[in-house]
Structure 1
C-alpha cells in the first residue's frame, strides 16, 4: 500500500500533541523549550510547493544518469582521474546552440567557453582575462588539438553589433553587451564595405560568419596559440550552424598557407590566415 503523505502543518501539530499533552505535566521551562523547538521546525520544514523548474532539472539528470552515466562506467571512471578533451569550443550563450547537443559530444570530449555572439577578444592581460584564462588553460594544461569557433543563425549578439546606436544615443544601451560585441567591429566593417547593396538580413548572416573569422584572427594574437599552431599541434576551425534549416558548415584556418591551398570563395584572407572549407 502506498505511503500516505502528510503536510508540514500536520506533522508539526502531531509533534505538538505528543510533546505537550494534557496527560503530561511539564514545568514552564521545559514547555518553553518545546515551544521554541516547534517554532524552529516550522521555519525549517518546507511546504510542498509545486516547482516545475526543479522537476525539469531532476528529470533531466535522471535521464542522463540512466542513459549516459550508468551506461559508460569505464568512461566516467577515467574522467574522475583527469580530462583530455580534443576540442576547445567557443560558442554563443544562445540556448538554441549547445555544442554538446549539436556535435553529440560525450563528457570529456570538449572544453567549452560560451559568451554573447561566440566572440574571442584579442590578447590583452588587462581586459577579458576570463577568455584568456580559458585559452591558456586549454593550450598549456589540457593541450587540446583543436579550437573551434562556431557561429549560428539569427544571433542576437551579432544583430546588436550590426545595429549599435551612435555614441550620442543613450536611449537604449546595455551595461556590458554593447562594449562586448564591439570585438566584432572589424567583421561588421568588412561586411558593410563589401556588401552595401544587400538587404540587412543578408548582411547579418554574412556578419555572423565573418565574426567567426575575426575571432580566429584574434586567437592568433595569443602567443601559445601561435606556437601550437605553427608547430602543427593545433588546428583552428571555424563553423556556422544554421538551426533554421538544420545545416552546419565548417572551415579551417592556416597560417601560412598549406602547400596546396584552395581558399573557400565565400571567405577572405584575414591577418594572413587562409581559410579552407572542410565540408
Structure 2
C-alpha cells in the first residue's frame, strides 16, 4: 500500500495525461504518480445544466485524493475541477444528422446543451441566449455546433434573450436514434463481410480451369481477345512525303504507323497455331485477366 500522509481535504494540482471520453475515466499525473479520475467525480462547468467539466488530455486540474474502494493500494481523484471538455452524454449523436436550411437572422455557437434539451448559445456579439430543443428545427444541437436562429425575449430567464427557429444542429432530434462512437464501432464489427462471388462452370470448377475433366468436356475454353483483319493489315506508306495533303505536306511519317501492324502479324505467324488456349488474350489459367 502507498505511504500517503493524511491528505484529507487537501487539494492537489496535476495534468491529465489521458482520458477516455466515452468510457468516462482516465489518469492525472501527480508528481510522477498516476491518479485515476472518473467523470462522475468531476464538477460540471454549469452545475444547473450539468454540462462541461469533463477532463481532456492536457488539462491542468485541481482535485482531492482518496484510496480507491476496489483497490485501496491506489489513489483516485475526487471533486475534480478544471476540466474543459463537454461530457460525452451531452455529445451523443454529434455529426449523425444533416442540418436543415436556416432562415434565422442571427448566428452563434452552442456553448452548452444537455440531454434534457436545454442550453446556451454564444451569439456573435459575445452575449448568450437561452435555447430549448422545442425551438430547434430538423436536428438537435450539440456543444460546439454552429447554428442559425432568431431572438426573442426569454420568459424562463428574465432579462435574457431566447433563441428560436434554431437550425444547424448535427445530432438526431431523438437521442434514441443516436449512437456513441464505441457503439458504432461494434455495429461495424458485427456487420457481415461481403462475400466474393466466383463464376464456376458445370463441373463446379472456376471458369477457365484446365484440369483433365474440364478439357475433356470442353469447358476449358475462355473468351479470347482476337484481332480483326483491319488490325492485322499492313499500312503501306505513301510513295513520298509530297503525297500528304495541305499543311501536312513535307512532314516525315513516323515509322510506327506501318511497323506496328507488321509486328503483330509476325507474332501471330510465329505462334504457329490459331488454336485458343487458356493463356490466350492475356488470360491466365483461372480466367484472370493479367
TM-score range, shorter chain: under 0.3
Normalization by structure 1: what TM-score? 0.19
Structure with the largest fraction of strand: 2
Normalization by structure 2: what TM-score? 0.19
Structure number with the bigger relative contact order (C-alpha 8 A, sep ≥ 6) is 1
Bigger Cα Rg: 2
